Structure 1
Amino acid sequence: MASMTSTLGRVNRRIFTLLAALVPILALVILGSVVTVPFVALGPGPTFNTLGEVDGKQVVDVRGAEVKPASGNLNMTTVSVRDRLNIFEAIGLWIDGQHGLVPRAEVYPPGQSRDDVDKSNQQQFKDSEDSAELAALNFLKLPTAVQLANVADDGPAKDMLKKGDELVTVDGKPIATAKDVVSAVSSAKPGTTIPVVVRRDGVEQTAEITLGARPDDSNKGYLGITPDEISKGPIKVDFNLGEIGGPSAGLMFTLALIDKLTTGDLSGGKFVAGTGTIDPDGKVGPIGGIQYKMIAAREAGAETFMVPAANCNEAAQRTPAGLRLVKVENLSGAVQSLEDLNSGKDAASCS
């Protein structure tokens, strides 16, 4: 009997020891599954052929002009953002080699809700669409106009000009771009009265406006207007990619629009992808998450990737095998590089 009691005691102690060891492990598992970390995971996101369709609609839909057939791919790329990660998810994504963890505050700044950030990203995306259209039209020397997006309530032009007016000349200087407006006004001194010709409801009108002083430079003239460059003519462009944010699709949208309005294939019928912001003058700017966009492009089948010049050093250090990098500073350089590749020549590289 004593022997049996002793045996039972040893078994109970082992069970107790085992349970004591399992409790913290179980607690760690529960905490790891429930507690979120103050990081988000960045990784490869969806990539879309800007020459193709999504949900039955052309990604770049052109009306009012003959659309030329275009083959191959000109893919825009994105970065995925995974939020509210638990400890195990964060560790798993960190070690998979395709994701990186960054402090959540870098993506969702304190004081801004996710909705605020999403709305800002969507506005940036819309702005990139507008810039892409203008950059393509300017490159192709198609007509654009400068319209007033706003007239300041307390500015010199408040009683003379109206939102929606098309600027024709300012102080005798023809207006073709928003920069023309700034140049014409800034070259006149505050207190000077200048003629401003606008087209309103199809009729040209002249307003004599006495300039104020620019808030940031009292020696330069100021009208108190916000000029906005727009397409002028029959060409209308719609970009049909919803739920995408940020400005980095600008370059690829522009290339797609040029490809659709000109003869030949910019891609040479091959798979080209890329990224980069663009302004109406065709300047290509840097973006974030270049390494993840390159991964997405290569996995989708891209052989060539258009890289903003300012991102070249980072891109060259993380280039996926089999992906050729093309350095891009501006739109004309991007088009020339693609034409060079199609004719068997070398193009500007990040290496």
Structure 2
Amino acid sequence: MSRRALTLLLAGFLVLAFGVVGAFRPVPYVVLSPGPTENTIGEVDKKPVISIKGRQTYPTKGALHLVTVAYQGGPAAQIDLLTALRGWLDPTVAVVPQETIFAPDRDPKQVEEENAVEMTNSQDSATAAALNELKIPYAMAVSVAYTEKGKPADGKLKKDDEIIAVDGKAAKDVTAVSDAVKAHKTGDNVVFTITRGKEKLDVTVPTVAGPKGQPLVGVTMQAKYKFPFEVDINVGDVGGPSAGLMFSLGILDKLTPGELTGGKQIAGTGTIEPGGTVGPIGGIAQKMVGAQDSGATIFLTPADNCAEAVKAVPDGLRLVRADTLHSAVQALDALRTGKGDVPACEAG
């Protein structure tokens, strides 16, 4: 073999070797794929997803599927380049920069804690929204879930502090407290009136600039409700707030006579406010694939996700726009009875 041929062979081998090694090097991306679904009027591990005690309930039929997104990767378990490339070639998954899921200034454990708090808040907000829809009264308070280490609230506000006012204005709910903080300029002081045990205190906390420039104090809050009966939601290790709408619909279906679904396989997604407003979520394309895989033919879609959903909707899945819990109930009534308008998603 000539020296030139040997050189080319060696160079080709080195290129291949570097390529193979490079393919298995970790990269800062996360793969999002369709996650598991759960029927909110069904069971998980032989236990009802939604259990209600102390109030009459009614039989249900069909399904109200919550949908999820599974992710692979993250700071603690980065994917390799080959996995990312496979994801880019698969139309049912998305490959996104790691920082879109895991903020650079937050560790994975903190993200998990936030997801757990968001899921608890989502379940409570879903119950509150369902009771508001049925005009059943309840009591509510805003409490501190935890503070972020190194942020201004750390050491000043404590877990389980009940926030009763911000700058002298009553703390109606978590959103109101958050909005009151955001209304300040970075560097301003925020005065929280709290109860800690039997003590009432005014706690002054300065704001700092958050990742997007908005002022924050570094406190995560949760609503503490006192409902007139017990509502228990069991979904295993599913986290985040995006199942709120489907929880509310499941609670409503169990608390009212008749079948909300008409026996159909319904799926959907969306955050929920206690007042019934449905908010947008992430991963809509993957969630629609998961909905179709679960056998659903109708997908309740937050209004703000409609434009994106229309572009990626799988064949055979009908998109129904959900602005509020009330409008979602009306849409399901129209689908069941064949009477009334069913709001559809439209391209933006």
Q: TM-score range by the shorter chain?
A: 0.7 to 0.9
Between the aligned partners of 2:143 and 2:52, the Cα distance in structure 1 is 24
Between the aligned partners of 1:89 and 1:148, the Cα distance in structure 2 is 43
Between the aligned partners of 1:148 and 1:28, the Cα distance in structure 2 is 54
For 1:1-351, list aligned pairs within 5 A: 9=1, 17-33=8-24, 35-83=25-73, 84-147=78-141, 149=143, 178=172, 228=223, 230-233=225-228, 235-345=229-339, 346-351=341-346
Give 3-state SS (helix, strand or coil) of 1:311's partner: helix
Change (3 A) 1:29 1:136: same
* 1:313–1:350 Cα contact (<8 Å) kept: yes
Q: Deviations over 1:256-314 (max 9, x none)?
A: 00001111111111100000011111111111111111111012111000011111111
Report the alpha carbon displacement of residue 99 of structure 1 after superposing the two structures with TM. Answer: 1.1
Give 3-state SS (helix, strand or coil) of 2:27's partner: coil
Normalization by structure 1: what TM-score? 0.74
Give 3-state SS (helix, strand or coil) of 1:41's partner: strand
Between the aligned partners of 2:263 and 2:6, the Cα distance in structure 1 is 69
Report the alpha carbon displacement of residue 79 of structure 1 after superposing the two structures with TM. Answer: 1.1
Change (3 A) 1:38 1:147: closer
Normalization by structure 2: what TM-score? 0.74
Report the alpha carbon displacement of residue 20 of structure 1 after superposing the two structures with TM. Answer: 3.8
Between the aligned partners of 2:7 and 2:116, the Cα distance in structure 1 is 57
RMSD: 3.7
Change (3 A) 1:91 1:66: same
Between the aligned partners of 1:148 and 1:27, the Cα distance in structure 2 is 56
Give 3-state SS (helix, strand or coil) of 1:178's partner: coil
Match of 1:201 in 2: none
* 2:141–2:223 Cα contact (<8 Å) kept: yes
The letter of the residue matching 2:282 is G
Q: Deviations over 1:166-217 (max 9, x none)?
A: 9xxxxxxxx9x937xx8xxx9xxxxxxxxxxxxxxxxxxxxxx9x9xxx99x
Report the alpha carbon displacement of residue 327 of structure 1 after superposing the two structures with TM. Answer: 0.6
Report the alpha carbon displacement of residue 228 of structure 1 after superposing the two structures with TM. Answer: 5.0
Between the aligned partners of 2:223 and 2:28, the Cα distance in structure 1 is 40
* 2:241–2:271 Cα contact (<8 Å) kept: yes
* 2:117–2:222 Cα contact (<8 Å) kept: no
* 1:99–1:292 Cα contact (<8 Å) kept: yes
Change (3 A) 1:20 1:255: same
* 1:178–1:227 Cα contact (<8 Å) kept: no
Unpaired stretches in structure 2, ≥5 consecutive residues: 145-159, 165-169, 181-199, 208-220
Unpaired stretches in structure 1, ≥5 consecutive residues: 1-8, 151-161, 167-174, 187-208, 217-225
Report the alpha carbon displacement of residue 131 of structure 1 after superposing the two structures with TM. Answer: 0.2
Give 3-state SS (helix, strand or coil) of 1:111's partner: coil
Between the aligned partners of 1:228 and 1:120, the Cα distance in structure 2 is 14
Give 3-state SS (helix, strand or coil) of 1:112's partner: coil
Report the alpha carbon displacement of residue 163 of structure 1 after superposing the two structures with TM. Answer: 7.1
Between the aligned partners of 1:96 and 1:281, the Cα distance in structure 2 is 39
Between the aligned partners of 1:269 and 1:59, the Cα distance in structure 2 is 18
Give 3-state SS (helix, strand or coil) of 2:64's partner: strand
Aligned pair count? 291
* 2:121–2:223 Cα contact (<8 Å) kept: no
Percentage of identical aligned residues: 41
Between the aligned partners of 2:321 and 2:8, the Cα distance in structure 1 is 63
Q: Deviations over 1:145-172 (max 9, x none)?
A: 234747xxxxxxxxxxx97899xxxxxx
Report the alpha carbon displacement of residue 231 of structure 1 after superposing the two structures with TM. Answer: 3.6
Between the aligned partners of 1:320 and 1:121, the Cα distance in structure 2 is 28
Give 3-state SS (helix, strand or coil) of 1:334's partner: helix
The letter of the residue matching 2:345 is C
Give 3-state SS (helix, strand or coil) of 1:333's partner: helix
